[in-house]
Structure 1
Amino acid sequence: MPTNQVSIDRITVSGELKAEYRELQRVMNALGSSWELSGGVFRLIREYPNGDTENIAYYAENAFQAGSWRLDFNPNKLTDEEKLEMKRAIDLLADVHFTRLDLAFDVFNNELGMKYRIYRPNVSQREYGVYTAQWTKAVETIYYGSNSSDQQIRQ
């Protein structure tokens, strides 16, 4: 039976650092030891029992706007403790606003979903497929637009 699911895939919030956090050392003290600092960028890293790591969040000064900072993360994967870390990072900012909000519309167990295509002239298209048990290649994901575009569509 076909099912649909809508979720938030990525959030970026931006804002000005509050006056009391204008020095990098003060930001570091406020964020705490959970965040790693490298090259002026704070990263919240999750470590798994097998030793693998995953970058959960990115917190840095906005390269395009002096004095503005941005926090980039995927809310779907956060533990309760990591959600508190996001709140702590956002609390350092004034005039907080969304600069990016990616929504995912997932359709499961519906053959028709991949038979209809989006047509946009002069837009690149890439297909990613999987091989089924019968060794036929089934399309799993289609991307429209370049990776650097603000208007990329994933089907």
Structure 2
Amino acid sequence: MELKVSLDNITITAYIKPIKLLALKSLIENHTAIIVQTAMTDMFKAITRDGSHVRLLLDYDKLKGQAFNARPFRMEFNPNKLRTVDTEILNTIIPYLEDIAISRVDLAFDLFEVDCSEFILEKKGRPTATKEWRDQNGKLETKYLGASRSEKQIRLYNKKVEQLENGSEEDKEFAKQFQHWWRLEFQLRSRSVEEIFEVIDSVIFKPFVFDDLPIETQIYLVAYTRNKNVWQKLHRNTRTKYKKILETYQTSDTDYLQLMKDLLKHERPVLEKQLAYYGGR
């Protein structure tokens, strides 16, 4: 097994320094790697593209920003997918900006050669909206905790399958190296961005292996993890009892969540440095 943690899909918003607005517009209009999609006096939208994949999205709308009292410039990118030319553009633009805020960041844990199709992913504390997809054998393929536009959404999905279906040729070749490649991803928006180094403590994540427990207990745990409609019909005290069992029972010799916490602690200085740079600090 190999673990990796990274920042993914970052969105920053900002004001453009008045004395740098013309320089930024000139960069957008004249850089050979930048494709201008919309260009007007007080707005523009542009991208860089690697084949069919957008690498940088640049969006400026002065009037919309004034109407909503919001920062008018937005830039979206995946730092793991930036080419040299994209990084050069990014490094040029950041000094042109002021009052920068990171409005979205994804914290991604990649688990290589671990089959997570029989893993539990549940949120601690209050229940949240849950969606999942399973194959015809009942094995997990994708699971979401939280709504897509909420401040915090957690995803577990088969990254190998996703890359083979949607990735570039390079991505597909990389994915083919592994028998299993899963990703646990925390999408944080607005105020939740500040929780990036604590958010992993909000979930239960481990293999679904309760064979040594009484069959009645196993049935309750299946209801909790597979059928929330049935689960909600149980008495509150019953739900509390079995949620505690689910959270505390050791289902494997490997504590995957603790390994991810240890990795995050080790990599935190590097990730903090990235966030500080993209946040203009």
- Which of the pair has more CA radius of gyration? 2
Contact 1:71 1:90 in 2 (8 A): no
% identical equivalent positions: 24
TM-score (norm 2): 0.44
CA gap of 1:140–1:112, structure 2 versus 1, over 3 A, is closer
- Cα pair 1:61 1:67 within 8 Å, conserved: no
Residue 116 of structure 1 pairs with residue 115 of structure 2 = no
Residue in 1 that maps onto 2:12: 13
Instruction: Please point out which of 39, 42, 45 is paired with 1:41.
Output: 45
Q: Provide the C-alpha distance between the structure 1 equivalents of 2:16 and 2:123, rounded to a whole number of angstroms.
A: 42
Of 22, 25, 30, the residue aligned with 2:27 is: 30
The CA RMSD over aligned residues, in Å, is 2.7
Q: 2-side partners of 1:144 and 1:117: how far apart?
A: 8
Could you say which residue in structure 1 is the equivalent of 2:148? 147
For 2:109, which of 102, 105, 108 is the aligned residue? 105
Distance 1:6 1:78 in 2: 17
Q: 1:126 aligns with which of 117, 128, 131?
A: 131
Which of residues 70, 76, 92 in structure 2 aligns to 1:72?
Answer: 76
Rounded to whole Å, the distance in 1 between the matches of 2:20 and 2:116 is 52
Q: Does 1:54 align with 2:53?
A: yes
Give the structure-1-normalised TM-score: 0.74
User: Equivalents in 2 of 1:110, 1:58: separation in Å?
Assistant: 33
Q: Which has the higher helix share?
A: 2
Q: Secondary structure at the match of 2:25?
A: helix
What SS does the corresponding residue of 1:117 show, helix, strand or coil? strand
Amino acid at match of 1:123: T
What residue in structure 2 maps to residue 86 of structure 1?
90
Q: Is the 8 A contact 2:118 2:139 kept in 1?
A: no
Deviation at 1:150, TM superposition (A): 1.8
Partner residue in 1 for 2:193: none
Structure 1 gap segments, 5+ residues each: 48-52
